Amino acid sequence: MIHPPRVDMHEETPMRRSTVEYANPSDQDIVEWLPPKPADRRIRYGTDPLQFGDLRLPERNAPDGHPVVVFVHGGGWSANWNMNYGDPLVAALTDAGVATWSLEFRRVGHVGGGWPGTFLDVGAGLDHLRTLAGPHNLDLDRVVVVGHSSGGHLGVWAAGRHRIPEHSPLYVPDPLPVSGVVSLSGALDLSYRFEETTIRTLLGADADDVKDAEARLEAASPMQMLPLGIPVKVVVGSADNLRYLISDARDFTARATQLGDTVDLSCLEGANHFDVVDPDGPAWEVAAGATFELLRHEATPDTPSPDGHDDTLA
């Protein structure tokens, strides 16, 4: 369902509120003034040095297991960006009572990144929750993927891997099912941008080979993978400097809804590209509220972070 622009969401859900307006003077200032928060554990899910994730566990007791947020960072699918800028968001989600698993992965510019490595890494990182569930008391019946920007694309893609045809190099049998996915300023349709160098490089496709390009888009672009059969929350700011992401959000929501998927769109008036991942700004209530609704989780704000951490790769 498409909603008019709004900021408030689910007033009955207790969450931390902010009295300040959107705080980023420009789209990238968030990386300068939000301090990183280390994870409890850094764990490999593969053999490549970039195949790892940061696991954070809440202090709150969870007799039935902790619900889990898998965070996929953005940065234009490029080696120039890593997971660190998302640390404040995932730490705030953990403080509110859920486990978080923030993924690093090979990207364009890394050996093995792009097609198909970037996609396979994100999928393998998500599936690695099956290994982590027992030792860390994770509830695999309540897993939500949250992705930002290009990570929004990869997050929705990963949540919809059951739609990938078997002939695709991105296909894996029995991908971990998820309860839903939240796209924060995500790139949800790669097809109309295929002529751009960034997308062609990501997909490793020859623009002159139409059949091959269509096959790769069918397996890699969320819009072309519809219907996904899982609930999707789409959040985007009206002041996002990447204007195509606003039309992406609206077009994806309309098409997915037409095909029978449950999609909720929130367009946040005045928010820019990084405001949507700021846990101290007004977008927090929308992003966290969407996540907790999909997890069927009642937030517990102001929960202190666990003491100590271990940055050693295990």
Q: 2: which DSSP letter? A: B
DSSP string, 246-259: HHHHHHHHHHHHHT
Q: Name residue, tokens 């705080």.
A: 23
Q: How far is CA 208 from CA 195, 200, 224, 276, in A?
A: 10, 11, 19, 37
Whether pLDDT at 157 is above 80: yes
Instruction: Tell me what pLDDT residue 27 has.
Output: 52
DSSP 203-222: HT--TT-HHHHHHHHHHH-H
pLDDT tens digits, residue range 227-286? 999 999 999 999 998 999 999 999 999 999 999 999 999 999 999 999 999 998 999 999
Partners of residue 100 on adjacent β-strands: 56, 69
pLDDT, position 26:
57
d(CA 86, CA 101): 11
Structure confidence at residue 197 as a pLDDT band (50, 70, 90)? confident
Helix axes 129-136, 117-127, angle to 10 degrees: 30
pLDDT tens-digit readout, 81-136: 999 999 999 999 999 999 999 999 999 999 999 999 999 999 999 999 999 999 99
Cβ proximity of 204 and 265 under 8 Å: no
Report which of 100, 110, 126 is spatially closest to residue 46, judged by C-alpha positions: 126
The rounded distance, in Å, linking the Cα atoms of 245 and 77 is 15
pLDDT band at 25 (very low <50, low <70, confident <90, very high): low
pLDDT, tens digit, for every residue of 61-82?
Answer: 888 999 999 999 999 999 999 9
Kindly tell me if the per-residue pLDDT of 299 is higher than 50.
yes
Q: Is the pLDDT score of 17 beyond 70?
A: no
pLDDT band at 7; cut points 50, 70, 90: very low
Q: What is the mean pLDDT of the chain?
A: 86
| pLDDT band per the 50, 70, 90 thresholds, residue 36 | low
DSSP state of 242: S
- The percentage of the chain sitting over the pLDDT mark of 70, rounded to a whole number, equals 84
Which backbone phi and psi does 228 adopt, to 5 degrees? -90, -25
CATH architecture of 30-313: 3-Layer(aba) Sandwich (3.40)
The residue among 189, 199, 181, 192 whose CA lies nearest residue 250 is 189
Residue 135: Cβ-neighbour burial (10 angstroms; 0-12, 13-18, 19+): exposed
